[in-house]
Amino acid sequence: MRSTFRSASRFAAGVIWLFLPRQDKVGLAVPAIVALVIAVVLIQLAAGAHADPRPFVLNPSIRPLFAHPPDNGFPSDHTTLAATVALLVMTYRKWLGAVLLAASVPVGVARVAAHVHHGQDIVAGVLIAVVAVGVTTAAWAWVRPRLTGRLAELASV
């Protein structure tokens, strides 16, 4: 399930990338890099602020459906990254981003069903994605016009 979603989100991002005009490619690439960096930083901060042992660690009678280290499960990295990609895609293609965001829900549910996460880990992952993409989108909306103007000035010199 996880690799299927990852492949589908990469495919969707690739298709969008191919059909975007050159200027919009930069407009998607820069925020994508920034949002993913912010998401990773927020994941590390959240994990340091809150420890949530995985379900199979709390209850040894529970067996995870696949091998997993008994580390901190908070927040869900997979859900955070899936939701971040979906929200970034949504800024260019609302319907496709909505489909990817809807597809990220079963990823989180599957992680809970596999006994490697709790529900709060999934919710925190989605919230981190919302913050990362929201901050990035707001910052890029402010920076992009100034950057475009500055690059035009430099090109005319």
Q: What pLDDT, in 10s, does the model give residues 80-131?
A: 999 999 999 898 889 988 998 998 888 889 989 999 999 999 999 999 999 9
What is the 3 state secondary structure string of 71-140? CECCCCHHHHHHHHHHHHHHCCCHHHHHHHHHHHHHHHHHHHHCCCCCHHHHHHHHHHHHHHHHHHHHHH
**Residue 46: which pLDDT band, with cuts at 50, 70 and 90?**
very high
C-beta separation of 133 from 87 below 8 A: yes
Global pTM reads: 0.82
Looking at residue 53, the DSSP 8-state letter turns out to be B
Q: What pLDDT, in 10s, does the model give residues 124-142?
A: 999 999 999 999 999 999 9
Candidates 136, 120, 152; CA nearest to 39 is: 136
What span, in angstroms and rounded, lies between the C-alpha atoms of 7 and 9? 6
% of residues, the chain, pLDDT over 70 = 83
The per-residue pLDDT of the chain, averaged, comes to 85
What span, in angstroms and rounded, lies between the C-alpha atoms of 31 and 144? 10
**Residue 6: which pLDDT band, with cuts at 50, 70 and 90?**
low
SS3 153: helix
Q: Read off the tokens for 91.
A: 């800024």
